Structure 1
Amino acid sequence: MSWKTWVLLGLTFAVGLFTLFSIATRLPTPPEHQVFVNGDVLTMDAENRVVQALSVRGERIEALGSNEEIMALVDDRTEVIDLAGRTLMPGFIDAHGHFPGSALNTVSVDLNSPPIGTMENMEDLLAALRARAAQLPAGEWVTGFGYDDTLLAEGRHPTREELDAVAPEHPVALLHISGHMVVANSRALEAVGIDAETPDPEGGVIGRTPSGELTGLLEETARLPVAERMLDLGAMDFLRMVSAAVREYAEYGVTTAQAGGVAPQMVGGFKLASGLGLMPLRLVLFPMQDDYGEAIAAGTFDPEDLAARRIDVGAVKIVADGSIQGFTGYLTRPYHTPFHGDEDYRGYAAVPRERLFEQIKTLHAAGLQIAVHGNGDASIDDILDAFAAAQAAHPVDDPRLILIHAQMAREDQIQRMADLGVTPSFFAAHTWFWGDRHRDIFIGPERAAQISPAGWAQAAGLRFTSHMDTPVTPMRPLQAAWRLV
C-alpha cells in the first residue's frame, strides 16, 4: 500500500471522527434548575391532575404544585419561565413507528406525492431517480421511498423496465408508501437471486406479467430480500439518519420514539448512536419474531442484550397481514375495486393461521409482550383467536397485548379486544391521507366510514393509542390526535 493511500485513509478516518464528534457534542446541557409557573401543567398522573407549576432539576422533574409551592424552591441559580397561561405537558410517546425512518431522505430519494412530497406523475419519479443515479458510481444501489401508485397521475406502480431504463448501470429499488411493497429493476432482482423461476414465498407475491415475466413488484414477504439490501447502510449514513430524526422528533415534542420491527443489524447502530450521545430521546425497540423466534423458542433470548442507555425493548412484533392501500390487507369481504379483475379477492395472511397461533403461544408462554400488525378484519379475527388461545393455555393477569393498526376492526372485534385485554393502536392518519381512496377504491363507503374505530373503543371502555407509522406519514403527534376525533 502506497504512502498516498495511507494518507488518504488517515484523512478519511480523521474526518469521520471529527464528524461524529461534532454531531455528538451538539446536544445542549440542561440547566441546573428550571421552574415553570403560571400555566396549565398536565401531569398525566393517575388522577390526571392539572397544576400551575413545576420544578425541573437537571434532567428530572423535582416537584409539581401551585405557583407559591414551586416558587419557594427558587434560588439565584434558577431559571424561571413564565408560561403566561399556556399549557405544558409531558413529551409524546410514539405508539408505533419506525425510527429513524423519518430521515430516509438523507440516504434515499424522497418519492412521496402531495401533500407530503412533490411527485405527481411517473416522469417526476423517474427524473428524480435519474438524477440520483447520475451522482453515484456504477453498481451502487439507487433507492427511493414513499411512492404511492394511487397518487401518481398514471395510477400504477413503476415497472422493472422503467427502472432498468432510468439507471441501467445500477440496482434500483423503491419502497412503497405502505412499506409493504418494493419495486425493483433487473439488477436489483438479480442481486438477491430473484428470477422468473423463483416461486412466491409464503406470505408474499412476486409480481409477474401474464406471460410470466417479472414486473419488478414484490409484495409482503417477497420484498424482504430487496428491502434488506436497500437498508443495509454504513455506520455514517445510519448515524446521520439518527441525528436528523432526533431533531425532527424533538421539534414536535416526541421524547420516546419506537423502532417497530427493528432489524438485528440496526441494534448495533442504535447502541453506537447512544454511546456517542446522539440519543437524547428514549427509544423502544420492537424486535421481530422472524429474527428472534428461534432464540425465544430455545429460551436463549434476553431482551437486555438489545438494550442500552435510553434504549429499551418492548413487545416482540409479528406482521400478520399487509396494508389496505396496497391491496394486501386480509379482509373478510372482497375489496371494493376488484384487484386485477378478481371480484373475490380479499388480500391474504402474511402468516398462516396455524403458524400465527404457534408463534403467539410461544411468545406468551415465554412471558414476552406481543404486538401484532393487523389491518384487515380477517387478519384481526386470526390475531384475536390466537391471543385467546395463548391466554387460555398460559393465563396472565395483565398480558398487555397490542394490536397494531386495527384499521378495519369491526364493532364485535372491539368488544372482544376489551374482553381479552388487548390494546389497539389506531393508524388514524389514514382518514386524512387516504380517506377518499379508501372510500372510492379500496373498501367502499360503508367500511371507509368505520376506519380506525376509536369511538367504538371509547364506548367499550377500551384503552387505545394512536400513531403515525412514521415514515409512512410524517411525525406530527398533535395531528394524529386531531385526525382521531
Structure 2
Amino acid sequence: MRMTRRRLLKNASCAAASLAAAHAGSLEVVGAETSPADLLFKNGSVLTMEDSPAVVEALAVRGGRIQAAGALREVSRLAGARTRTIDLAGRSLTPGLIDAHSHPMAFGHMELHFILVRPPKVHNFETLGRTLAQAAAKLPKGEWVIARGFEDFDEGRFPFRQELDRYVPEHPLLAIQWSGQYGVCNTPALQKADLLRADAADPYGGKYLRDRRTNIPDGRLLHYPAIYSIHKNELDNAGQVEAIRWALDKFLACGVTCIHDNFATGPSARSYAMLDRMGRLPVRLRVYPYVPNLRICQELLQRMRRYEGDMARLSGVKLAVDGYALMYDVPPEHRELDMPMHPQDQFEAIVAAIHNAGLQVDVHAVGDKGVDWTLKAFAKAGGSAQAVRRMRHRIEHYPFLKADSIRNTADLGVPVCTQPTILHLRAESFLRRFGTKKLRQIETMVPLRTMTRAGVRVCFGADVPAFPTHLPLDSVRCAMERKTSKGRQLDTTESVPFLQALKMHTIESAYAAFDERELGTLTPGKLADMVVWNKDLRTVRTARDVGGLEVQTTYVGGKEAYTKKV
C-alpha cells in the first residue's frame, strides 16, 4: 500500500515529465514552445545519461525544470528577451551528480571539530600518541579528546588503554577508526563511562575487548554501540547547521546535487527538515534513519512522520548486518572483529518490520556472509521476488561477492551502492588481514562489470566521513583504474569505462532512491540539476584523464548553486 501511494505521489509531482517525447535526436519540449526559456545552453556536448539520445546539442530550462533538449536550431526557438544563454564553448553539460551514500552532518562535524589521525601521518602508536598529546595540551584538564581516521598500525593491532594513557593521562580520550566501526579509548574514558570493571556488560551489537586476566575492558571497542557508550559527542543546533552547510558547500563544488544520508541520526534528520522548511538546503537529501536494534526500530516506526519537503525526503530506514566484514572462512586470529551486529533472527525481524511498514530497507553489508544474510532476510520479508523488487531494498558497500549472491541480488532487484575507492584505500588492508587465502576475492572485489552484466543496478557513494574523500570523480577513477594504494593492479576485467561509471553517479543513484522520474538524466520535465565541466567529457578515455576534470558550475533547480572562482 505504501509503495503504491508513493508512486502516485511521484507521478503527480512529475506530471510534466510524462509529456517528454521518447524518440532520439529530435527536439523534446515540455510546455508550450512559445514560453521563453530561463536558461539556454549551447555550443557544447549535452550528455543526457539517457541511452538515446546520449548527446544533444542544446538544452533549455524553464521554471527549474528542463524544458527542451535537442538540436540547437530547434531549442533556440525557445530563447526570449530575458533568456540567459550559456555558451559551453565545447565543454560538457551533465546531470547533477548524486552521491548515494554519504553523511553530510557527520562529515562537517568531523572535519570541523575532530582531531584527524589519518595515515600516512599517523601510522603507529607513537605517531598516534604524539598527535593526541598535542591536541590534549590545548584543552583544559578533564575535557574530551575526540579523534578519527586511523587505519592499520605498524604494530599490527589496535593500542590498549594503557598505551594511550602514556600520551593522554588526564583527559578522557576516544579515537575512532576510519570506518567508524572500531575505536580505542584510554583509562579516563572508561572510568567516565563506568566501564572500568570486570562485570561491565557488552552493549547490544557491540563489544568491549578485554584483558584476558582481569576481564576488564582494555580500551578496544567494536561497532557503533560500544563506541557511542563511551561518548556520543553530539553537536548543539547551531553546530549541526554549521556542519551541514559546510559539508553541502563541499559537495556542490564537486557537482553533487543530491545526497542519500544512509546513517541519519535523530538530530541530523531534524536539522535537515528544519533547513528544508527554511529554504536553506542547497542540495537535495534522501534521508535514511539508522536503527541499532529491533526495539528502537519499532519505536521509530510508530512515531516517525513521513517527511517530504522541497529538498529533503524520508526515503527508508537503515540498519547494519556487520561492521568491518562478516565473512566466511575468516582466519581464527581475526574472528573477534567479524561479529554480526545482530543475531540472525533479530536481524530478520528488523528487516521484516521496516518492510511491513512500507519503507525501503537499506542494509550495511560488507562481508560475503553478511550479504547472504541480507538477501535471505529480504526474500523472507517480501515473500516473493516480485514483492522485494517493488520495494527496492538496498545493500550498501557489498565489496566481497560470490556468484550465487550476485544472481540472487539481480533476481530480487536489489540495488547496490558501493564505493570503488575501497580498492585504492583499503584493499592492501584486506590483503594484510586475510592473506593469500582470499587473494582472488580481494583482486575481484567491487566486481562492477560482473554485477552489471548480471542485471544488478549499481550506484556510487563516497561514504564520507568513513572514507577520506567526498569527491565523486575519485569513485569514477577507481572504478576505471582498480589499483591499490601501493600500485598493485587488481583484476581489470571488473573495471568499467568512464561514461558508465558516470551513470552510476547519476541515473543509477537516482533509481536507488525512487528518483528516476525527477533526477539522473537531462530529460525534459525533470528537475534542472546540472553540472558544467571544464572540457568535453567525451574525450575522457583513461583514469589519468579523469584527473584533469573540474566542475565549473553546479545548478540545482535551474539556479546556480556553485561557480568556480577564476
> Do both proteins adopt the same fold according to a TM-score greater than 0.5, normalized to the shorter chain?
yes
Is the contact made by 2:317 and 2:359 (CA closer than 8 Å) also made in structure 1? Answer: yes
Which residues in structure 2 correspond to 1:58-137 (within 5 Å)?
59-103=64-108, 104-114=110-120, 118-137=121-140
- Give per-residue Cα distances to partners, 1:331-388, cap 9 Å, x unaligned: 11124xx526x7xx78221111111121112221221111111111111111111111
Shift of 1:47: 4.1
Matched, 1:415 2:407: yes
1:180 Cα deviation from its structure 2 partner = 0.4
| Aligned residue type for 1:73 | L
Change (3 A) 1:84 1:450: same
* Secondary structure in structure 2 of the residue aligned to 1:81: strand
CA distance in 1, matches of 2:135, 2:357: 47
Give the deviation of 1:420 after TM superposition. 1.2
Hey, what does 2:38 align to over in structure 1?
33
1:147-226 to 2 correspondences below 5 Å: 147-148=150-151, 150=152, 152-196=153-197, 197-211=199-213, 212-226=215-229
The residue number in structure 2 matching 1:263 is: 265
Segment drifting more, 450-459 vs 282-291: 282-291
1:25 aligned residue: none
Q: Secondary structure at the match of 1:94?
A: strand
User: How far apart are 1:127 and its partner, in Å?
Assistant: 2.6
Provide the residue aligned with 2:327 in structure 1: 331
Partners of 2:441 and 2:275 in 1: how far apart?
A: 43
1:373 matched residue in structure 2? 364
Give the secondary structure class of the aligned counterpart of 1:69.
helix
User: Is 2:453 the partner of 1:459?
Assistant: yes
User: Which moved further from structure 2: 128-137 or 249-258?
Assistant: 128-137
Moved more, 63-72 or 388-397: 388-397
Report how many residues are paired: 437
Amino acid in structure 1 at the alignment position of 2:408: R
Q: CA deviation at 1:275?
A: 4.8
Q: Is the contact made by 1:304 and 1:313 (CA closer than 8 Å) also made in structure 2?
A: yes
Residue 440 (structure 1) aligned to one of 432, 441, 444: 432
Q: CA deviation at 1:43?
A: 2.1
CA distance in 2 between counterparts of 1:164 and 1:297 reads 39
Q: Do 1:99 and 1:258's aligned partners in 2 also have CA atoms closer than 8 Å?
A: no
Distance 1:192 1:70, change over 3 A: farther
Deviations, residues 175-203 of structure 1 (Å, cap 9, x unaligned): 11111012112232233332332123343
Distance 1:234 1:346 in 2: 33
Asked if 1:483 is matched to 2:486, the reply is no
Tell me how far apart the structure 1 counterparts of residues 421 and 191 of structure 2 sit (CA, whole Å).
Answer: 36
| d(CA) in 2 for partners of 1:233, 1:420 | 39
1:391 corresponding residue in structure 2: 382
Q: Which letter does structure 1 place at the counterpart of 2:57? A: Q
Judged with a 3 Å threshold, the aligned counterparts in structure 2 of structure 1 residues 255 and 47 are, in CA distance, closer, same or farther, namely same
Moved more, 379-388 or 275-284: 275-284
Equivalent residue letter for 1:191: K
Distance 2:70 2:278 in 1: 36
Measure the CA separation in 1 of the matches of 2:232 and 2:212. Answer: 28
Tell me, what secondary structure is at the counterpart of 2:406?
helix
AA partner of residue 222 (structure 2) = E
Query: Structure 1 stretches of 5 or more lacking a match?
Result: 1-31, 324-328
Alignment partners' CA distance in 2, 1:291 and 1:332:
24
Q: Distance in 1 between matches of 2:446 and 2:42?
A: 38
Who is 1:24 aligned against? none
Against the structure 1 CA distance between its residues 359 and 78, is the aligned structure 2 distance closer, same or farther, given a 3 Å change threshold? Answer: same
The aligned counterpart of 1:143 is 146
Aligned-partner Cα distance in 2 for 1:44–1:312: 24
Cα drift, residue 125 of structure 1: 2.4
Separation in 2, partners of 1:292, 1:346: 22
Deviations 1:2-40, CA, capped at 9 Å, x for gaps: xxxxxxxxxxxxxxxxxxxxxxxxxxxxxx933211222
- In 1: Cα distance, 2:53 partner to 2:337 partner: 43
- Separation in 2 of the partners of 1:378 and 1:315? 23
Q: CA deviation at 1:95?
A: 1.3
The answer to whether the 8 A contact 1:173-1:188 is kept is yes
Give the whole-Å Cα distance in 1 for the aligned partners of 2:134 and 2:273. Answer: 34
> What's the counterpart of residue 319 of structure 1?
320
Identity of aligned residues (%): 29
With 383-392 and 195-204 compared, the bigger mean Cα shift is at 195-204
* More moved, 38-47 vs 409-418: 38-47
- 1:228 Cα shift? 5.5
- For the Cα contact (< 8 Å) 2:184–2:221, is it kept in 1? yes
Provide the C-alpha distance between the structure 2 equivalents of 1:164 and 1:276, rounded to a whole number of angstroms: 46
CA contact (8 A) 1:404 1:426 kept: yes
Q: Distance in 1 between matches of 2:270 and 2:194?
A: 27
**Hey, what does 1:19 align to over in structure 2?**
none
The letter of the residue matching 1:214 is P
Equivalents in 2 of 1:190, 1:248: separation in Å? 38
Aligned CA RMSD, in angstroms, stands at 2.6
Distance in 2 of aligned mates of 1:408 and 1:46? 29
Q: Would the aligned equivalents of 2:294 and 2:349 in 1 still touch at CA under 8 Å?
A: no
Q: Structure 1 residue 139: deviation in Å? A: 2.9
Q: Is the CA contact 1:264–1:291 (under 8 Å) kept in the aligned structure 2?
A: no
Q: Secondary structure at the match of 2:391?
A: coil
- Give a deviation string over 1:27-63, Cα, whole Å, max 9, x none: xxxxx93321122212234746321111234633332
Deviates more, 1:167-176 or 1:242-251: 167-176
Relative CO higher for 1 or 2, CA cutoff 8 Å, sep ≥ 6? 2
Aligned residue identity for 1:353: Q
CA contact (8 A) 2:269 2:289 kept: no
User: Match for 1:153: what amino acid?
Assistant: D
> C-alpha offsets along residues 206-260 of structure 1, whole Å, 9 cap, x if unaligned?
0112223422111015424346522x11223222211221121011111111221
Rounded Cα–Cα distance in structure 1 between residues aligned with 2:159 and 2:133: 14
